Amino acid sequence: MAEKRRPLLGFVGKLPSGTAAGNSGKTHCPLCRGLFEAPRLLPCLHTVCTTCLEQLEPFSVVDIRGGESDTSSEGSIFQELKPRALQPQIGILCPVCDAQVDLPMGGVKALTIDHLAMNDVMLESLRGEGQGLVCDLCSDREVEKRCQTCKANLCHFCCQAHRRQKKTTYHTMVDLKDLKGYSQIGKPILCPAHPAEELRLFCELCDRPVCRDCVVGEHREHPCDFTSNVIHKHGDSVRKLLRGTQPHMQALEETLAQIKGTNNALQERVKAVAADIRTFSEGYIKAIEEHRDKLLKQLEDIRVQKENSLQLQKAQLEQLLADMRTGVEFTEHLLASGSDLEILITKGVVVERLTKLNKVEYSAHPGVNEKIVFSPKEKAGLCRGYEVYGAINTKEVDPAKCVLQGEDLHRAREKQPASFTVLCKDATGESVGRGGDNVQVTVVPKDKKDSPVKTMVHDNKDGTYYVSYTPKEPGTYTVLVCVKEQHVQGSPFTVTVRKRHRSHPGVFHCCTFCSSGGQKTARCACGGTMPGGYLGCGHGHKGHPGRPHWSCCGKFTEKSECTWAGGQSGPWSLLRTVAF
């Protein structure tokens, strides 16, 4: 048989609620929906007709448990576990809860019979005026009476025969209609090993009901007693388990109620957040649409402005061209066809006109350009309370108007970063206010032009570019800055790179006496001394400069380069003070 594994756990709800069998008062099979016929109780305590179970598709599983299966109809659920090797086992899934049911060796028919469900079916049939009940003896006619002694349902014919037999003459016979108020009218439960014997005894060792023949046979030396004598002990153990299970039911019901409440709150919260999202997105869409309309109107205004400027320049240049053409044609005709006297007579007017035309200033290039750039990532402020992006720029960079700024434009130190800023401007000298232009910077030593210094250009996105580089050795360097492959204003220029900054080996102090803790031998580069044999400077004494200074070189600026040359060149170089 091919192995078909299915999930062992599933959502309960495979069948409509109220269709589960196996509980008191349940009489219909959850699969066929009819009254139970030979109902079998599954380990999950759901009841299904034998025929319906046999129609379910089985699958193969590997039984890794020790001992015998607990799903047989008469087997003990407390038998001693016996270790055994792995072996395949056939299983089915409960049609109600999807729980895995491991079938015993006898298959579906070896599962426990649900006698309680059979009793409920009989009661259900009695409530329907006996419809569907047939005689237990002849299995042919409808039931009329019930023998309370034999617990058998009999038709009219079999009932008369029952009374004629000596053994059953004095059995109590009850009309079927008089049994409708009863809760237990089930048939005697017969032994599966001895079908003629009723199960009246209970084997404590095997933990299973047995008949008289079982006691003298298979269970000969086992402790057995009547079921009426042992039901209290076993019933109490089941009630104890029931009492331990019931609180879990209450806890689960409370948890399910909490889950339901949480789920309801979740749904309400989802609706509220969804409404917030829709409100936000609708507002954002309106803001974007409004910003779009503003941009389109701005674009149209730019178009009109540029077209008007071009049309005005065109009209002016056309008029100037017409005036010049008239002057040139008249003068050429005069010089070609006029007599000497005629030329001299009109000379004054012609000269005055041509001179005036030659003095007219005009641009040899269009007054405006077609440069219109849309920058989608540029912030455009707030619109309806939302941050919007996208701006139109019409300014074009003019390399001749771009300027350079920075303290390190013309000086730098070896092996220390130097930087400056490129400010891009348009033809009118105004900042373009945006980035994205092609800015190229080259730094080369004057005597090693084939070894350029690595440069970094950072676009600040506002029309400025931060340039940094680190010269490796002192000397003169040439810096070339180009925008759109054209030199900017002041490019190329030279930078003098000096040796690395020299730090101060001394201390920046107010006087030697204070910084040395009163040591007489401590000296200072300022040359000051104090009475009493102090070789260093002190406040108000001879040589003190009157303000803080460096002990090593005497400089007054704390952040400065040290000019002390070292060696024993001065009396103050014999000892340097240290700060406490």
E strand or H helix that includes residue 299: helix 227-337
* Other residues' Cβ atoms within 10 Å of the Cβ of residue 85: 7
Tell me if 453 sits within 8 A of 412, measured CB to CB: no
Q: What digits encode the pLDDT tens for the residues 230-266?
A: 888 888 888 888 888 888 888 899 999 999 999 999 9
pLDDT more than 70, % of the chain: 84
Tell me if 44 sits within 8 A of 112, measured CB to CB: no
Band the pLDDT of 22: cuts 50, 70, 90. Answer: very low
Whether residue 480 is predicted with pLDDT greater than 70 in this model: the reply is yes
Whether residue 573 is predicted with pLDDT greater than 60 in this model: the reply is no
Band the pLDDT of 482: cuts 50, 70, 90. Answer: very high
In DSSP notation, 70-84 reads S-BSS--SSPPP---
Whether residue 390 is predicted with pLDDT greater than 80 in this model: the reply is yes
Q: What digits encode the pLDDT tens for the residues 445-476?
A: 988 878 888 999 999 988 899 999 999 888 89
Domain annotation for the chain: domains and CATH numbers:
229-358 (no CATH), 395-498 (2.60.40.10)
Whether residue 276 is predicted with pLDDT greater than 90 in this model: the reply is yes
Average pLDDT, the chain: 81
Beta strands in 73-124 (DSSP E): 87-93, 100-102, 112-113
> How far apart are alpha carbons 422 and 268 in whole angstroms?
57
In DSSP notation, 343-365 reads HHHHHHHHHHHHHHHHT----SS
Which of 41, 22, 53, 37 lies closest to 134, judged by CA? 37
Q: What digits encode the pLDDT tens for the residues 172-227?
A: 788 766 665 555 565 677 888 888 888 889 998 988 899 988 988 888 889 999 98
Whole-structure pTM value: 0.47
Residue 65, sorted as left (phi over 0), alpha (psi -120 to 50) or beta, turns out to be beta
Q: Two tokens at 204?
A: 């404590």
